[in-house]
Amino acid sequence: MRSIAAPVRSVLILKADRLCANAIHRISGRVFPSAEIGEARLLSEALQRISEKPLDLLLAGTTLIDGDIAEFLSQHAADAHLHRTFIITGSQKPWLLERLQALPIAGVFDSSAENAEVLASALQQVAAGKKYWSKTISSCLTTGMMPEHHAC
């Protein structure tokens, strides 16, 4: 998966939660006004779309109906049709975050701790070829605890 700056012309939002997917769609539309933005609820749907044409950015959740995002990415992250992946999750499970950290992804956004404006900024950073890891996620990975001292 490439982490260089490149125009974002196609985005796929992979989230089981429709309300969350719609909110991410609206934010992505503001950040990437000329991009084609699609939505998928299933990993199988996402894989089909990725195989049909190149995808500049996959925005994925971690709670999916038909599989495990970390497993999916470990199998498909090097796919030439999938340029960048950015995870948007409210989960702070250390075992999941450690698995994600080991993958060639652009980062993880903590939707339980950060707002829409921060997401828009994070998406701009990812589009510029940078990585974005929420401070709460980074803290959880280094300490095993959330900043408020709640268990991850």
- The candidate with the shortest Cα–Cα distance to 42, out of 22, 19, 63, is 63
Looking at 5-9, 25-29, 54-58, 95-99, which range is the least confident one?
5-9
Residues above pLDDT 90, as percent of the chain: 57
Give residue-wise pLDDT tens across range 91-145: 878 888 888 988 899 999 999 999 999 999 999 999 999 999 999 888 877 776 6
C-alpha 152/C-alpha 136 separation (Å) is 10
* pTM score: 0.88
For the segment 14-35, the average pLDDT, to the nearest whole number, is 96
Contact 88, 50 (CB under 8 A): no
Which residues make beta-bridge pairs with 11? Answer: 37, 57
